[in-house]
Amino acid sequence: MLPRSMIDSFKTYARPVFAATVIALTVSACSDDEVGDVSLGLFTTKDIKIQIFNDPEVPGVTCHISHVKADLDFSDPSDMGISCRQTGEITDEMIANVDRSKSGEVVFTASKSILFKSMKIRRIFDSKNQTLMYLSYSTKETQGSHKHSLSTVPLWGTKAWKAPTDVQ
């Protein structure tokens, strides 16, 4: 049998850890941006979550991100998918505020584990083809690969579209 002091010590530390775990699971399950949740099976703690991301600079673009969430695991898998579409007006003023560098800018970040892994979405503007590109990727190499996925939103048919000037 365990000494009384050891049992009391366990109770002292176990309650806050248990409470924090319950709160974290409750908060993650009630995310406003979560629109889908698919279980990967009865005997696993992993689910596929589908989240909405609305571009803060270009609110006429909505992305749906799918990724595996492992609630009781130290590390979430790195696989993810992204699909972005025009869901509202896109204007020239919105595109004027978009980073024009080849590396674009990070517009979304989510932690994927306590081990310094995160999922990021980077917006890159292809001015030649008048297209917004959204690249989702993992910041930690997994099995020799940095997992990533790409989706594009062409500006054709929007108020922001400009005819290419260097047509050959």
Among residues 162, 1, 19, which one has the least CA distance to residue 92?
Answer: 162
**pTM higher than 0.85, yes or no?**
no
pLDDT given at position 22: 38
- In Å, how far from its chain's centre is CA 114? 16
pLDDT given at position 127: 94
Which is it for strands 118-126 and 34-39: parallel, antiparallel or unpaired? unpaired
pLDDT given at position 55: 97
pLDDT given at position 42: 81
| Boundaries of every domain in the chain | 34-154
What own/partner pairs with CB < 8 Å and gap ≥ 24 does 136-141 have?
136/65, 136/80, 136/81, 136/82, 137/80, 138/78, 138/80, 138/112, 140/78, 140/112, 140/113, 140/115, 140/116
Per-residue confidence of the chain (168 residues) as pLDDT tens digits? 666 665 665 556 555 444 434 334 433 444 678 999 998 888 777 888 999 999 999 999 999 999 888 765 555 567 889 999 999 999 999 999 999 999 999 999 987 666 667 889 999 999 999 999 999 998 866 666 678 999 999 999 999 999 877 654
